[in-house]
Amino acid sequence: MDSLYQEHILDHYKHPRNKREMDDADVVQRGKNVSCGDDLTWYVKWEEKGGSQRVADVSFSGYGCALSQSGASMLSLVLKGKTKEEVAALTREDMLALFHADIGHMREKCALLPLSTIKELLKQ
């Protein structure tokens, strides 16, 4: 992995964006990766805008490896302002592209935990 990409991941891991609990969240969803112990909770506040529900605010809490935590940080920046439909349309490829690096098959579950957990949140 190129050192520039490692720095990008480590920056989000060491200085996560939107990492906080949200007391007034409309929905909360917890996800776990039992194979490695990653634990992630999403908090989302919705707003009605333009006839659609949009992410007004989003945050996460939890612990885990650099991929799961930095991935949540990066994804949180993408989610703000998105409609539920736009969030639902996010793909595995969209999530992996946030890392700007090739993620090995063995680490994909860690890197995809933020996306799989936010998709579970949409079912509420």
Question: What is the arithmetic mean of pLDDT over 17-35?
Answer: 97
Taking the complete model, does pTM exceed 0.85, yes or no? yes
For residue 39, the model assigns a pLDDT of: 98
In the predicted structure, residue 38 carries a pLDDT above the cut 60 = yes
Q: Which domain holds residue 116?
A: 3-121
19: three-class secondary structure by DSSP? strand
User: DSSP letters along 57-86, please?
Assistant: EEEEEEE--HHHHHHHHHHHHHHTT-BHHH
Separation between Cα atoms, residue 15 and residue 103, nearest integer Å? 21
Q: Are 108 and 51 in contact (CB under 8 A)?
A: no
CB atoms within 10 A of CB 5: 13
CATH of residue 88's domain is 3.90.1010.10
Residue-by-residue DSSP string for 20-34: S--TT-SEEEEEEET
pLDDT surpassing 70 at residue 88: yes
Q: What is the pLDDT of residue 55?
A: 98
Kindly list the distances between the CA atom of residue 94 and the CA atoms of 23, 26, 28, 79, in Å, as whole numbers in the listed order.
Answer: 29, 25, 22, 12
The Cα angle at residue 90 between residues 27 and 68, in degrees rounded to 5: 70
More confident residue, 34 or 71: 71
Buried b vs exposed e over 93-109: b needs ≥16 C-beta within 10 Å?
eebbebbebebeeebeb
* Number of domains the chain is built from: 1
